[in-house]
Amino acid sequence: MKQGRVLVIAGSDSGGGAGIQADIKAITMTGGFAMTAVTAITAQNTMGVFDVHPIPLQTIIKQIECVTFDIGVDVVKTGMLGSVEVVEAVAETLTSACPNIPYIIDPVMIAKGGHPLLEKAAIKAVRDLLVPKAFLLTPNTPEAEALTEIRIENLDGQRRAAEALLKRGANAVLIKGGHLDGDVITDLLATVDGEEFFHSKRIESTSTHGTGCTLASAIASYLAQGDELAVAVTKAREYVLKAIETAKNYGKGHGPLNHGWVLGA
């Protein structure tokens, strides 16, 4: 019986808007229990990423092993991994430490301000080692383009990229449409059984830092509590949209979401 336990493997964000900090907030606010394996410490704020300190591989592995051995995991969610070596270590450790559970793979590549969070050489490693393990892959359109080398300019491009990623072994793909032009954002959920479209009116806001991390973690949280995939995506999108709508405009750049809106914060 699922108990809402989510292990997040990702980097930290000192500004609190994305990364591990956003993951913990989103999972907690949606009723799950968050555990973490930190892959890197970043010095960042709403204006950008100013420094990245990678965590040693053995420490990343040991974090994963410790929580899975003692507490147990219902769903794993990955975020910023950074390098080929980390991708390889995470893929191997997941297979040995927590097999046969859903992996939500958020292929984080570039920070909101443009700083690279994944080495170019590691894109192939993500495609070869993590995409085939994904219960759900959650790329935005630039990430999907990098993984498939398919140009995405509209819904047709989203569909073609999703098909390519399913052929690479992903169980399901959610290609987010926020980077495409238009007043309505369409996210495409594709599985071997078909497609489902999620539409929402674009919210004009600069407080969108950490949107991808938050969405993937909220989906993971709902899945870890027993929801079916389409239901988890629907509920997670509603949570994120409200978090953008109620954001408090912190900082001078791309501000964080209001993860605590559930509490009336």
Active-site residue, selected from the candidate residues 11, 15, 17, 210: 210
What is the H or E stretch that residue 7 is in? strand 5-10
Please identify which of the residues 36, 46, 211, 214 carries the catalytic annotation: 211
213 is an active site residue: yes
Q: Which has the minimum average pLDDT: 12-16, 22-26, 108-112, 140-144?
A: 108-112
Query: What whole-number distance in Å separates Cα of residue 207 and Cα of residue 146?
Result: 25
Please report which residue ranges of the chain form alpha helices under DSSP H: 19-29, 57-70, 84-97, 120-125, 141-148, 155-167, 211-224, 229-245
For the residues 110-127, what does the mean pLDDT come to?
A: 81
- Number of Cβ within 10 Å of residue 144's Cβ equals 28
Catalytic (active site) residue 211: yes
Band of pLDDT at residue 110, cut at 50, 70 and 90: confident
Cβ(135)–Cβ(172) below 8 Å: yes
Give the tens place of pLDDT for each residue, 224-264. Answer: 999 999 999 999 999 999 999 999 999 999 999 999 999 98
Active-site residue identified among 213, 242, 248, 260: 213
Q: For residue 113, what pLDDT is reported? A: 65
User: What's phi and psi for 2, nearest 5 deg?
Assistant: -70, 140
Is the pLDDT confidence value at 115 over 80?
no
Strand partners, 67: none
212 is catalytic: yes
Q: In whole numbers, what is the pLDDT of the chain averaged over residues? A: 95
CATH number of 5-259: 3.40.1190.20
Catalytic residue among 176, 177, 214, 255: 176
87 near 126, Cβ under 8 Å?
yes
Strand partners, 48: 45
Q: Which of 4, 79, 212, 255 is catalytic?
A: 212
| Residue 98 is among the residues annotated as catalytic for this protein | no
Given 39, 46, 208, 214, the catalytic residue: 208
pTM: 0.96
Residue 197, phi then psi, degrees to nearest 5: -110, 140
DSSP string, 184-198: EEEEEEEETTEEEEE
